[in-house]
Chain A
Amino acid sequence: MKQFVTLNMALKNLQRRPVRSWCMIFFVFMLAASLFFCTVLTDSLSESLEKTTNRMGADVIVVPEEYEKDMADALFQGNISSFTFDKQWLGEITGVEGIAKSSPQLYLRTLAADCCSTAVQLIAFDPETDFIITSWLNDDGIELPKKGEVIVGSKITPETDGNVIFFNKPYKVVGQLEETRSNYDACVFMTYETADEIVHSDKWIEAFGEAGAAENLVSCLMIRAEQGIDKNDIATKINYRLSKDCPVRAYTMNGLLSGAMNTVNSMDNYSSILMILISILVIAALVCIFTITINERTKEFGILASLGAGSGKLAGLVLSEGCMIGLAGGLIGVIFSIVGLLIFGNTIVVLMDIPKLITALDYLLILGLKCMALALVVSIVASLYSAWKVSRNSLDTLIKGEEM
């Protein structure tokens, strides 16, 4: 009880001045909530990016030059795309040193029309050379799909009969991948044989035109480098080999996603600057409110001093008020943000056009604690000046209730 008297008195002072207290709490609330949201946004973006790159398991990727951006968007943003180049160009690449594995993939799209279950990204792979998708299948205990069969990502819901319909033809869903929280969750996987069926269906031809045999079409060539070989080196070597009129180029995975990475980095920078500005504003606002109200309360401190409260105790009282404001504002801000995020997360994803938000509770709680710590520090900093003034002032100034 003895130790708590300062806190108790500070709390009563705040309770008896609700307007002032809530004004200050509001400022801290704004600080905590915006810090929380900014961090969740940037963290979510970089997490998605990292997940995509990790999941991919390829070091270098060869894509048509003008579709490099589409590829990055398909991987990272989940944009659906369809682009191909002729397999013959791959001949120029064979024999480049340092390549451990390479396998072509074909990216096709379906339509948001009656002929298809949904508009999704179809990814065809070659089971003989593939080193990416087959390993996912192994991890999830799923058999290789045969001709006419598909594997779907965790976000795709098959029709009631267990099929998906693409271009008026049903394909049997023989497996569903576990959730990866990357854009692969919204993709459908199949072998080249099945893709061949699709590109030769009437509806496909109607929509996209004659395409020729699927086995001659490639959207991208995934390349894994040999252990210890520099990925940039491989990309450079490949590009050196490719003839001038060749429509494809090799990119390192990081290079391909660099656009997205730059966005994330600059968002990170912007939000840091924003947070510093908001912190300064909030500190300034709190310093003003504190200074004004403490100045009007000099008599109260004078009374306490005349009854034997030392300057340290008076400063402690002011600081305790600051701490409580900080804790209250921080706590309300964090709770508000977490609840808001859980309720409106999907709307935010759509509005801000980002892959997905991190909603793991442990992450949110730790971030919440960090935000509260910042809110607390900011409030303490804001009340330090007043605390210092109260403790430093001569007693008769306090007792006379003069402005400090």
Chain B
Amino acid sequence: MLNVKNLTKTFDRQNRHFDAVHEVNFSMKGGDFCVLTGPSGCGKSTFFHLLCGITKADGGEVFFDKKDICKLSDKELAALRAEKISYVLQGDSLLPNFTVLENICLPHQLSCGRTDLEKKAMELLSHFGLEAMANDYPSNLSGGERRRVAIARAFVHDPKLIIADEPTSDLDEENTAMIIDFFQQQAKQGKAILISTHDLSCLRPGMIRYQMEKGCMKKA
């Protein structure tokens, strides 16, 4: 499903080039649950941005469903993110002006016109124990609750590939376990899941672990 070849991204800092992502080869298929670990600044977020077409690569190829996403137009990339690849941003990613339920449904309604998501959204919310907060605004939620809402939003429209950037950072064990359990369960149902973390305690058997160091990635 996802096939990455020699992916490279170069940044400039004070007139010095460096590869934030260097010649990365990587692949995954439906049902895989991959975890990317590595120290801060090693290039995890940059790699994820390349995978969903938020950042343009400087070299290499990213094949998703046999199409090279580096060659897609902005519009096609937006459609891809709207329907097939779901990306959970690092940190807080809820819209402050919308309630929890609106946060889950409205962005998808905007990007691909889907209006049938409310029922699924409520199911996910109750799975995460948040159904009572459906009409609360994000500012009234704790960090862990907000993270769960963002994850519910990433799954609600049934994408094929879910990429989550540090979905468990700053969370306690209970919240972390709840989220990892959910990912595992979704992977079993055939979704491809790719997350990053520097919290090694959330590793479980059955996960495929990759390690990243200064832009280079290898299987651990």
Interface of A toward B, CB cutoff 8 Å: 1-2, 5-6, 8-9, 12-13, 15-17, 300, 302-311, 313, 317, 395-396, 399
* Interface positions of B from 73 to 113, Cβ below 8 Å from A: 74-75, 78-83, 86-87, 89, 93-98, 102, 106-113
28 A-B pairs, CB-CB below 8 angstroms? Answer: A2-B109, A2-B115, A9-B98, A9-B110, A12-B97, A12-B98, A16-B96, A16-B98, A300-B95, A300-B97, A303-B93, A304-B107, A304-B110, A305-B81, A307-B81, A307-B82, A307-B107, A307-B153, A308-B79, A308-B80, A308-B81, A309-B78, A310-B75, A311-B78, A313-B111, A317-B110, A395-B55, A399-B89
Which A-chain residue is minimally distant from B115 (CB atoms)?
A1
Classify the secondary structure of B's interface with A.
helix
| Distance between Cα atoms of A300 and B193 in the complex (Å) | 24
| Distance between Cα atoms of A308 and B153 in the complex (Å) | 12
Indicate whether A5 sits within 8 Å of B93 (C-beta atoms), given known contacts A306-B87, A310-B78. Answer: no
Q: How far is the CB of A57 from chain B (nearest CB, A)?
A: 65
Q: How far is the CB of A10 from chain B (nearest CB, A)?
A: 10
Most buried by B among A17, A300, A311: A300
Known: A303-B94, A304-B110, A317-B110. 14 other contacts (CB 8 A): A5-B106, A5-B110, A6-B110, A16-B98, A302-B89, A303-B93, A304-B95, A306-B87, A307-B81, A307-B108, A308-B107, A308-B112, A310-B75, A310-B111
| Distance between Cα atoms of A396 and B110 in the complex (Å) | 20
Indicate whether A303 sits within 8 Å of B98 (C-beta atoms), given known contacts A1-B115, A2-B109, A310-B75. Answer: no
| Distance between Cα atoms of A310 and B55 in the complex (Å) | 15
**In the bound complex, do residue B89 and residue A310 qualify as a contact, i.e. CB atoms below 8 Å apart?**
no
**In the bound complex, do residue A5 and residue B109 qualify as a contact, i.e. CB atoms below 8 Å apart?**
yes
Indicate whether A309 sits within 8 Å of B54 (C-beta atoms), given known contacts A13-B97, A300-B95. Answer: no
**In the bound complex, do residue B89 and residue A309 qualify as a contact, i.e. CB atoms below 8 Å apart?**
no
Residues on B with C-beta less than 8 A from A8 are 106
Is the C-beta of B160 less than 8 angstroms from some C-beta in chain A? no
Residues on A with C-beta less than 8 A from B79 are 308, 310
| Distance between Cα atoms of A214 and B189 in the complex (Å) | 111
Which A-chain residue is minimally distant from B93 (CB atoms)?
A303
| Distance between Cα atoms of A23 and B80 in the complex (Å) | 38
Residues on A with C-beta less than 8 A from B78 are 305, 308-311
Indicate which residue in B55, B86, B153 contacts A396 across the interface (CB closer than 8 Å): B55
Residues on B with C-beta less than 8 A from A399 are 49, 54, 89
Residues on B with C-beta less than 8 A from A310 are 74-75, 78-79, 111
Is the C-beta of B52 less than 8 angstroms from some C-beta in chain A? yes
Residues on B with C-beta less than 8 A from A300 are 95-97
Interface of B toward A, CB cutoff 8 Å: 49, 52, 54-55, 74-75, 78-83, 86-87, 89, 93-98, 102, 106-113, 115, 137, 153
**In the bound complex, do residue B81 and residue A306 qualify as a contact, i.e. CB atoms below 8 Å apart?**
yes
Indicate which residue in A2, A6, A313, A396 contacts B49 across the interface (CB closer than 8 Å): A396
Indicate which residue in B83, B93, B94 contacts A308 across the interface (CB closer than 8 Å): B83
Classify the secondary structure of A's interface with B.
helix
Q: How far is the CB of B40 from chain A (nearest CB, A)?
A: 16
| Distance between Cα atoms of A12 and B49 in the complex (Å) | 29
Q: How far is the CB of B24 from chain A (nearest CB, A)?
A: 18
In order of increasing CB-CB distance, the 9 nearest A-B pairs are: A308-B82, A308-B111, A308-B81, A16-B97, A310-B78, A307-B107, A309-B111, A5-B109, A395-B54
| Distance between Cα atoms of A311 and B74 in the complex (Å) | 8
Q: How far is the CB of A99 from chain B (nearest CB, A)?
A: 76
Residues on A with C-beta less than 8 A from B112 are 308
Indicate whether A309 sits within 8 Å of B115 (C-beta atoms), given known contacts A2-B109, A9-B110. Answer: no
Which B-chain residue is minimally distant from A9 (CB atoms)?
B106
Residues on A with C-beta less than 8 A from B87 are 306-307
**In the bound complex, do residue B107 and residue A2 qualify as a contact, i.e. CB atoms below 8 Å apart?**
no
| Distance between Cα atoms of A317 and B97 in the complex (Å) | 13
